[in-house]
């Protein structure tokens, strides 16, 4: 009971007849007032009220108790009163001690705050000036630091971590996009206002000499910048708006997506984006060495490639137009002009599926090659994946980043498994996988859904070139095989942990067969006159494929979702930031 509550209870009692009532069955210490109509529950409550009165009044009060089961009140026994008084004494002592402790704590906090304030005021008086007697500092990026040890340098970057050690030392881990650098600030350098109030993600300039760390100590690249002068370039907020309050590892995934512009500063996200940059370059280098030309087809188109259900339609040209699903048809038109071609362009799919491997905008690496057979196409896809991975693996910096993200990753050098669609159906049935819609065995003609396909790929544990899909479940341009017209010269490359990464096929190259395919699909050939012309002006057997860059990255970096493998993912319900 607080002092105020006691005082109010005492006031009520004073109106009564100097008797406090305790009903051990029906009373209440919380709401009771000690009167007969509103008794306390315990003698302790009554003793506490009496003890709060002036001493001369205390002796005039008596306590009446009604035990559980009794009909009437009787005066409290001497032993019960003694017991209640003892309990009250202990409680009072405890409360006093607590009050003393909180007063002491408050005093300490106030002293600390005052000291902090004094330190801040003092810190404002310290103004750093670059020592003009020192050699001029050369501006470097962190990746150049190893070659610039023992000379005076200046490094710009963002505060990734910082730690104060004792009164006169502060460690800052600086990040500039090319690496991390441990920096040591001593004495006056860590007493300035900017040092005392330094926040994570502030942009700073640090001057000094890079020295190897003493034996037994660790730091990125085995060295640290011994700072002799520094200043803040752009301060980041602290307190409620500090970056760690805006986003952290535990944040809800949708909040992390809202704050993706801040998330990408994190170690994992930035490493994935850097590996992505290397992957794009490795594809370009691979195609360049293999004699392909890069082309950049339009994104705004009037044709569909992969079925009408995922088309993004827009109204601007006063006739129907869409965002491209695939650049394949345009690549095909380039063959007579440039030979083998490739593109690294965005493709758009108005997917409704909310899966970890579907985006509505993704980077599509597509290639088209003239005068090849279906087997050549399979070899080309396998050779590209292995070739690009080898390029990444042979670059020490990229290998280190991949190892950091996916420690168990090793380039796959064995031949990829080649499996026909029909064999996959048999595998699913032999392994007890059932169709989701009716719980029955899979049959020839069924589209293999993502989940069983992934289970099969993970169980086999090797890249699989899955071939010869039935025509009706594949795109209109895929030709039937000569020996079995039920199936097409088509292929999907399936990777463990990710699933389909590449989709490709030979293309129907006979004019009339293609015309029939358009008709079967209900497509208006007026929009495809240029595509049909390819079959008119020197047609030839050809084939190609498309690889989803984000899925390829998810495989290499062991990312759970393709959403982590692009800068700002776009998918159903998400178009920001
Ligand atoms: O299998 P797809 O639909 O094939 C084509 O678009 C062909 N026209 C490509 C060609 O032959 N030039 O898509 C090819 C690849 C898939 O294997 C997958 O990696 C990726 O593109 N992909 C997606 N990636 C992320 N989100 C989506 N919604 C994707 N749809 C396809």
**DSSP codes of every residue in 424-463:** HHHHHHHTT---TTTSPPP-TT----HHHHHHHHHHHTS-
Which pLDDT band holds residue 61 (cuts at 50, 70, 90)?
A: confident
Label residue 317 exposed, middle or buried (CB < 10 Å: 0-12, 13-18, 19+): exposed
Percentage of the chain modeled with pLDDT above 90 = 88
- Residue 353 CA, closest ligand 1 atom number: 28
Which pLDDT band holds residue 3 (cuts at 50, 70, 90)?
A: very low
Whether 45 and 84 have beta carbons less than 8 Å apart is answered as: no
Q: For the whole prediction, is pTM greater than 0.95?
A: no
How many angstroms separate the first and last alpha carbons of the chain?
54
Q: 548 CA distance to ligand 1 centroid (A)?
A: 6
Q: Ligand 1: which residue has its CA nearest to atom 31?
A: 548
CA distances to 48, 65, 262, 405, 570 from 577, rounded to whole Å, are 62, 70, 11, 25, 9
What integer pLDDT is reported at residue 249 of this predicted model? 84
What integer pLDDT is reported at residue 11 of this predicted model? 46
pLDDT tens, residue by residue, 198-218: 999 999 999 999 999 999 999
For residue 569 and ligand 1, the question of a CB distance below 6 A is answered with no
Whether 175 and 213 have beta carbons less than 8 Å apart is answered as: no
What integer pLDDT is reported at residue 47 of this predicted model? 92
Whether 558 and 497 have beta carbons less than 8 Å apart is answered as: yes
What integer pLDDT is reported at residue 30 of this predicted model? 92
What integer pLDDT is reported at residue 17 of this predicted model? 63
Label residue 241 exposed, middle or buried (CB < 10 Å: 0-12, 13-18, 19+): exposed
For residue 550 and ligand 1, the question of a CB distance below 6 A is answered with yes
Which pLDDT band holds residue 15 (cuts at 50, 70, 90)?
A: very low
The 3-state secondary structure of 485-512, one letter per residue: CCEECEEEEEECCCEEEEEEEECCCCHH
Q: Ligand 1: which residue has its CA nearest to atom 4?
A: 503
CA dihedral sign, ordered 324, 326, 329, 330 = positive
pLDDT tens, residue by residue, 205-258: 999 999 999 999 999 999 999 999 999 999 999 999 999 999 988 889 999 999
- What pairing do the DSSP bridges indicate for beta strands 74-75 and 417-420? unpaired
Q: 310 CA distance to ligand 1 centroid (A)?
A: 12
Percentage of the chain modeled with pLDDT above 70 = 97
For the cut 60, the answer to whether the pLDDT of residue 160 exceeds it is: yes
Q: 502 CA distance to ligand 1 centroid (A)?
A: 7
What integer pLDDT is reported at residue 7 of this predicted model? 47
CA angle 480/482/487 to nearest 5° reads: 35
For residue 551 and ligand 1, the question of a CB distance below 6 A is answered with yes
pLDDT tens, residue by residue, 446-490: 999 999 999 999 999 999 999 999 999 999 999 999 999 999 999
For residue 566 and ligand 1, the question of a CB distance below 6 A is answered with no
For residue 552 and ligand 1, the question of a CB distance below 6 A is answered with no
Ligand 1 pocket test: which of 457, 548, 556, 564 has the largest number of ligand atoms within 8 Å of its C-beta? 548
Ligand 1 pocket test: which of 305, 325, 347, 563 has the largest number of ligand atoms within 8 Å of its C-beta? 347
- Residue 366 CA, closest ligand 1 atom number: 12
pLDDT tens, residue by residue, 524-566: 999 999 999 999 999 999 999 999 999 999 999 999 999 999 9
For residue 326 and ligand 1, the question of a CB distance below 6 A is answered with yes
- CA distance linking residue 44 with residue 48, whole number of Å: 6
For residue 507 and ligand 1, the question of a CB distance below 6 A is answered with no
Q: Report which of 390, 424, 574, 570 is spatially closest to residue 499, judged by C-alpha positions.
A: 424
Q: What is the mean pLDDT of residues 292-303?
A: 97
What integer pLDDT is reported at residue 194 of this predicted model? 96
CA 410 to chain CA centroid, nearest Å: 24
For the cut 90, the answer to whether the pLDDT of residue 299 exceeds it is: yes
**DSSP codes of every residue in 110-150:** HHHHHHHHHHHHHHHH------TTSPPPEEE-GGGGGGGTT
Phi-psi map region of 445: left, alpha, beta (phi>0 left; psi -120 to 50 alpha): left
Q: Ligand 1: which residue has its CA nearest to atom 24?
A: 548
Mean pLDDT of the chain: 94
């Amino acid at each position: 009971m607080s002092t105020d509550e006691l005082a109010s209870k005492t006031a009520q009692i004073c109106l009564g007849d100097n008797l406090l009532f305790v009903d051990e069955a029906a009373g209440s210490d919380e709401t009771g007032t000690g009167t007969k109509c509103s008794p306390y529950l315990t003698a302790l409550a009554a003793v506490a009220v009496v003890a709060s009165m002036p001493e001369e009044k205390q002796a005039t009060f008596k306590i009446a108790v009604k035990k559980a089961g009794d009909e009437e009140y009787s005066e409290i026994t001497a032993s019960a009163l003694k017991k209640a008084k003892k309990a009250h004494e202990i409680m009072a002592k405890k409360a006093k001690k607590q009050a003393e402790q909180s007063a002491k704590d408050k005093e300490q906090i106030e002293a600390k705050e005052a000291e902090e304030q004094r330190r801040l005021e003092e810190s404002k008086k310290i103004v750093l000036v670059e020592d003009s007697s020192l050699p001029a500092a050369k501006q470097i990026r962190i990746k150049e630091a190893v070659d610039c040890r023992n000379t005076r340098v200046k490094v710009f970057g963002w505060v990734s971590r910082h730690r104060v050690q004792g009164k006169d030392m502060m460690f800052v881990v600086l990040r500039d996009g090319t690496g991390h650098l441990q920096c040591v600030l001593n004495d006056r350098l860590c007493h300035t206002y900017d040092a005392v109030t330094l926040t994570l993600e502030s942009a700073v300039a640090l001057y000094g000499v890079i020295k190897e760390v003493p034996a037994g100590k660790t730091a990125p690249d085995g060295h640290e910048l011994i700072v002799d002068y520094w200043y803040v370039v752009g301060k980041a907020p602290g307190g409620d708006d500090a970056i760690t309050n805006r986003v952290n590892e535990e944040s809800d995934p949708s909040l992390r997506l809202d704050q993706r512009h801040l998330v990408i500063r994190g170690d994992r996200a930035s490493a994935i984006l850097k590996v992505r940059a290397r992957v794009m370059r490795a594809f370009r280098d691979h195609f360049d060495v293999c004699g392909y030309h890069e082309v950049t087809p339009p994104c705004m188109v009037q044709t569909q490639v992969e079925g009408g259900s995922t088309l993004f339609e827009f109204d601007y040209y006063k006739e129907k137009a869409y965002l491209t699903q695939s650049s394949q048809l345009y690549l095909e038109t380039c063959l007579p002009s440039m030979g083998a071609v490739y593109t690294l362009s965005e493709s758009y799919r108005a997917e409704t599926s909310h899966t970890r491997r579907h985006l509505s905008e993704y980077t599509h690496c597509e290639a088209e090659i003239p005068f090849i057979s279906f087997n050549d196409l399979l070899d080309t896809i396998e050779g590209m994946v292995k070739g690009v991975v080898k390029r990444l693996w042979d670059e020490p910096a990229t290998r280190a980043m991949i190892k950091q993200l996916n420690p168990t990753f090793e380039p796959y050098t064995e031949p990829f498994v080649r499996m026909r669609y029909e064999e996959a159906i048999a595998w699913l049935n032999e392994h007890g996988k059932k169709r989701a819609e009716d719980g029955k065995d899979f049959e020839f003609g069924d589209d293999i859904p993502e989940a069983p396909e992934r289970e099969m790929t993970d169980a086999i544990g090797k890249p699989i070139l899955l071939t010869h899909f039935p025509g009706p479940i594949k795109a209109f341009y895929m030709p039937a095989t000569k020996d079995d017209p039920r199936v097409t010269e088509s292929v999907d490359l399936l990777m463990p942990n990710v699933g389909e990464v590449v989709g490709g096929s030979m293309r129907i190259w006979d004019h009339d067969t293609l015309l029939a395919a358009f008709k079967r699909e209900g497509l208006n050939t007026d929009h495809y006159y240029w595509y049909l012309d390819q079959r008119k002006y020197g047609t030839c057997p050809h084939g190609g494929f498309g690889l989803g860059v984000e899925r390829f990255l998810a495989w290499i970096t062991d990312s759970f979702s393709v959403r982590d493998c692009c800068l700002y993912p776009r998918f159903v319900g998400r178009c920001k930031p």
